[in-house]
Amino acid sequence: MRNHKKHLFLLLLLLFPFFFNAATIPFEFIDGKIIVKLNIKNNPHNFIFDSGAFTIISSELKNQLNEKKSTTVFEGIDANNAKSKMEVFSTDNLQVADLNLKGVNFSFADISWMSGRACKKISGIFGANMMKGKVWRIDFKSNTITVFDKPQNLPDNAATIPFSEENFTSVPRINAKIRNQNIEFIFDTGSGMGFTVNQKSYDQIKDKDFLTFEGLLSQSLNSIVKGQRQVDLMDIELNNTKLGSQIVDSSSDSPNLIGTRFIENYLVDLDFINNKIILANTGKAPEYQSFGVAFAPVDNSLVIVNKLEIPQLSGLQLTDKIIKINNKDVSKINGETFCEIKAMLDNSQTITIENNAHKTFTLEKKNVLQYLK
């Protein structure tokens, strides 16, 4: 009996590492962004988990990471195709959950605008180069990322898509087929849309039935894009796996991106060991919930900065100043009051707004894809 216990104890010792080969990272999902907490010298900081980017850390944290300057200069292109050159540093002072991240390359940048949009202090971008050598399982049901040292099993019907890595940044690129056109995409957990293609590619696959949004379309590290964006549903095929109708939208000059409006409908293994993305369907259908207009603070006023071009919203115009929402005075706002307004909008299905011409409109949050014929 003692020998049996001894052998059992030895077996448990051998198996023990396999029970603890994973770290679990909770995240918040805000406006299509995955936000995780990193510890820097035991102080928590919010980072955007962004597989479509190189790691960026706020300039405010300079000299707090025992960083070492590299001779490398990073020539980056942001999501809006704007180019920039940044010095590269390295640090051993980043920790997420139980993982101590060593030798992380990054650049410093002013990212203060990210905090205003998230209504949360953002200290950096957790880029693809920090994900190398591990499997990152993204679960939108539990809002967790589980990190493994080796590939894991997923259902047999899961789609497996190989990817190539960009030099230096490790950003994953995959190929997709849309309406018989082969298009290369960046798998970008930092993008809040579905399948975003540049205008040239979109013109090759569009039909006569699509939605048009006009106004401020996107903001990224070095640029802001304004103009029109078309949105449609199109059949997507990844690595010979048909995924059915997915949201496809156009962008002026940006690289082609696969974002969280698609990714959130799957249990995802982002495997940087074997360079594969594994998608297990959770049964969710594509949705685009919106009031049809979007607001932003401009010179202490709340202004319509984006609008869906449909007859139901013809009475509202871009740059209209909003003075009341649900009878609440919003004629003068600051960063704090805008975040209160944003929370109210996020938690409401119906709102009544009044513009500075004292016209009132009742708006309902809907899946705007229903306007497609």
pTM to 2 decimal places:
0.89
| Domain assignment present for 18 | no
> 276 with 311, same domain?
no
Q: If you ran DSSP here, which 8-state letter would residue 282 be given?
A: -
pLDDT at residue number 333:
94
| Domain assignment present for 16 | no
| Domain assignment present for 64 | yes
> 269 with 335, same domain?
no
> 72 with 174, same domain?
no
| Domain assignment present for 57 | yes
> 126 with 155, same domain?
no
> 191 with 120, same domain?
no
> 253 with 329, same domain?
no
CATH of the domain at 349: 2.30.42.10
Domain stop point among 253, 281, 309: 281
| Domain assignment present for 1 | no
Domain stop point among 262, 281, 300: 281
pLDDT at residue number 253:
67
CATH of the domain at 27: 2.40.70.10
pLDDT at residue number 373:
74
Q: If you ran DSSP here, which 8-state letter would residue 339 be given?
A: H
| CA–CA distance, 299 with 296 (Å, rounded to integer) | 10
Low-confidence ranges of the chain (pLDDT < 70): 1-21, 76-83, 217-226, 253
> 317 with 354, same domain?
yes
> 201 with 277, same domain?
yes
| CA–CA distance, 289 with 226 (Å, rounded to integer) | 21
> 174 with 135, same domain?
no
Domain stop point among 112, 139, 166: 139
| Tokens at 146, concatenated | 């589980």
pLDDT at residue number 82:
61
> 56 with 133, same domain?
yes
Residue 102 corresponds to which amino acid? K
pLDDT at residue number 13:
36
> 178 with 277, same domain?
yes
Tens digits of residue pLDDT in 201-243: 999 999 999 999 998 755 444 434 568 899 999 999 999 999 9
pLDDT at residue number 226:
67
| Domain assignment present for 5 | no
pLDDT at residue number 73:
82
Domain coverage including residue 87: 23-139
Q: Which residue has the tokens 């500075």?
A: 356
Structurally, how many domains does the chain consist of? 3
> 298 with 224, same domain?
no
| CA–CA distance, 196 with 302 (Å, rounded to integer) | 28
pLDDT at residue number 90:
96
Going from the C-alpha of 72 to that of each of 58, 67, 69, 82, 94, the distances in angstroms are 19, 14, 9, 20, 20
| Domain assignment present for 177 | yes
**In 3D, which of 121, 126, 140, 117 has the Cα closest to residue 55?**
126
| Domain assignment present for 242 | yes
Q: Does residue 215 contact residue 294 with C-beta atoms inside 8 Å?
A: yes
Q: Does residue 117 contact residue 219 with C-beta atoms inside 8 Å?
A: yes
